[in-house]
Amino acid sequence: MPSRDHGDPGDAPSVPPPLSPIANASRPSAAEEARTIAHSTNTGTLATLTDAGDPWASFVTYGLLGGAPVLCVSNLAEHGRNLAHDPRASIAIVAPSSESDPLASGRVTLAGVVEAPSGDELAAAREAHLNAVAAAKYYIDYSDFTLWVLRVQRVRWVGGYGRMESTTGEAYSAASPDPVTPHAATAIAHLNADHADSLTAMAKVLGGYPDTTAATCTGADRYGLDLRVVTDRGIAYTRIGYAAPIDSIDQLRSATVELAHRARQG
């Protein structure tokens, strides 16, 4: 928890620790989280270097080729001139979120160097960009536009307050985006609307907070559920891992039914 290293002047809200072991705290790796965030949208902000070596931030759209962002930018634009001059670049991507606190959002920085693809990779990169950015059909074949593939060498993932980790380009490239998270909103709303008692039981029996008075599901992925837990000691966040990882949204219901059953037995 790097955020606990801050020089706390003493009045920040404190998070109560668990009172019993967490049954299964497994969760996506930083590389998986990063792939999932990159997969969640088609816009980001690129950092490039001007002729003078100054850092230049600019809005871009992108597609993904095996996790590598594919940009389509005009050589007339400042970021296009920058990339042609110096291939070093990074892109910051923020996951869409309904959180009122923007720093609670997941985001990632992918850093490396761009290359202009050729041959089969050029065709695949063009298709990847068009699949993600429909309007690109109007300019992708303009002679002043260039496709660039960002070869990711270094990744910094921030999952909100206190969850952050760096990882390598290799781990990022080898990971896969979460198959459950992008489709989980309806199921999460259903859990919170109709199964509040089960969530509370999960938090008490499996989540390490036997003093839970209310629990809300805030996320679901291939490994388990994120719960926000209310106790008399304050508000905490915990993790309820499934009996086994799942690989599609269709398996979420049976996985959560099993969790609820196990929690009620506890």
Binding site residues, a second copy, CB under 8 A? 2, 5-9, 12-13, 42-49, 53-59, 61, 74, 76, 78, 88-92, 94, 101-103, 105, 107, 109, 111, 133-135, 138-139, 141-145, 156, 158
| Sheet order of strands, 212-220 included | 212-220, 224-231, 234-241
Closest separation in Å from C-beta 21 to a second copy: 29
Closest separation in Å from C-beta 55 to a second copy: 4
CA distance 249 to 129: 26
Looking at the Cβ atoms of 98 and 143, the one nearer to a second copy is 143
Looking at the Cβ atoms of 141 and 247, the one nearer to a second copy is 141
Looking at the Cβ atoms of 25 and 94, the one nearer to a second copy is 94
User: How is residue 201 written in tokens?
Assistant: 């039981």
Identify which of 80, 77, 111, 76 has the alpha carbon closest to the alpha carbon of residue 93: 111
Closest separation in Å from C-beta 148 to a second copy: 14
Closest separation in Å from C-beta 94 to a second copy: 5
Closest separation in Å from C-beta 59 to a second copy: 4
Torsion sign across C-alpha atoms 75, 77, 79, 81 = positive
Beta bridge partners of 55: 49
Looking at the Cβ atoms of 61 and 231, the one nearer to a second copy is 61
Looking up tokens 């920040």 gives: 12
CA distance 82 to 13: 44
Are 110 and 155 contacting, i.e. CB atoms less than 8 angstroms apart? yes
Looking at the Cβ atoms of 142 and 244, the one nearer to a second copy is 142
